[in-house]
Amino acid sequence: MAIRDIKKYPDEILRKKAEPVESFTAELDKLIEDMIETMYFASGIGLAAPQVAESKRLIVIDTSWENNGNPSQIVLINPEIVECHGSIESEEGCLSIPNYRATLKRNASLLVKGYDRQMRPIELECEGLLARVIQHEIDHLNGILFLDHLSLIKRELLKKRYLKSLSK
C-alpha cells in the first residue's frame, strides 16, 4: 500500500469525467488499497480515483467515525445514483480544495447501485452523512467540484481566495 498525492484544484484531472472500470485486476485492487490508505492519511471520509490522478469510476468511503465505530470501508465501482429523496443543507469540504468549506444542499437519501471491490453488484440505501459523501464523490467522477454547487458570487469568491492562498 502507498499514500498517493491528492490532486488539488485547479488540476485538470478534477474536471474530467472518469472512465468506467471494466474488470477487476490486481492493479485495481492495489489502487483501492492505496486510496483507502490515502483517505485515512489525509483525515478524509471519502476519496474518488480522479483525486489521486486515476481516471476510473471508483470511490472509497468511511464515515464510521460518525458512530464512534471501527473502520467501515465502502468501495463503490461504477456507482450510479438511481433514486434520491428530500434535501438537506450542511457544511462540506474537499481534500482537493483544502481548508475551504461551504454550506451545500444535497439529497437527504439515496439508492445507489454499483459494484463492490470483487465486482459483485451492490445496492446501497443511505441517508445523512453517507448519502452526502456518496454524492460528493460521484460528483468527482463527473468532473464536478463542491464549489460548482455554490452561487456564482460565492463560487468566484471561494476560488479567488483559494487560488490566492496557493501563491503564498
Active site residues: 137
Sign of CA dihedral 94, 113, 77, 64: positive
Beta bridge mates, 47: 60
C-alpha torsion 9→11→15→18, nearest 10: -120
d(CA 134, CA 112): 9
CA distance 143 to 128: 23
The residues with which 61 forms a beta bridge, in sequence order, are: 46, 74
Who contacts 22 (Cβ-Cβ below 8 Å, separation ≥6)? none
